[in-house]
Chain A
């Protein structure tokens, strides 16, 4: 019940953002700076939020109409083998990401891109590494 309510809220927010964005695209003449990009961000964000909300509503309604299929979906989502596969795939992707983003930053540095952009990349990269280390310690204490 709570899930479908939040899905309706999301859909309404999405429509609001979408129409707001479209209105500002038409209404604002000669937008300057951030105002030029903001309506398009609103439209993009609105589409994503609306799509997510509507998808959730359709899913919830389908689950209500077919309880057997809903139960099977729940089983598949909670199935320990499926979870193990998903976690292993994520771990593999993370391992690859560490190397790929490292190589990407190195190439950007060689290309001589703006220092601010490069530093943003480095800090984001380090944030992910620190996040991983934090959870390593956290899970180490918990388990």
Chain B
């Protein structure tokens, strides 16, 4: 799964630490999400989407032929 988290975060002018604090996750989780190394749970995906006032699909992009 790909995502536009880094781009959206930068557009909102907040750093990883501030986003992590708002979402109540560690800063490393935000870093891993942005690098695409970690896929969030559906709850965290909703939290991120709500935080930016967007839909999940606008942030996370499902790639069809991906190995899960």
Give chain B nearest CB distance to A19 CB in angstroms.
42
Residue among A75, A76, A78, A81 having the largest count of chain B Cβ atoms under 10 Å: A81
Interfacial residues of chain A within 49-82, with CB under 8 A of chain B in the complex: 75-76, 78-82
Chain B: interface size category: 10 to 19
Total A-B residue pairs with C-beta atoms closer than 8 Å?
Answer: 25
Inside 8 A of A79's CB, which chain B residues have their CB? Answer: 25-26, 29
Interface string of A96-117 (1 = CB under 8 A from B): 0000000000000000000000
Provide a sorted-by-A list of 13 A–B residue pairs whose CB atoms are within 8 angstroms: A75-B21, A75-B24, A75-B25, A75-B26, A79-B25, A79-B26, A80-B40, A80-B41, A80-B43, A80-B44, A81-B28, A81-B29, A81-B32
Instruction: Spell out B's residues near A (CB within 8 Å).
Output: 20-21, 24-26, 28-29, 32, 38, 40-41, 43-44
Instruction: Spell out A's residues near B (CB within 8 Å).
Output: 75-76, 78-82, 84
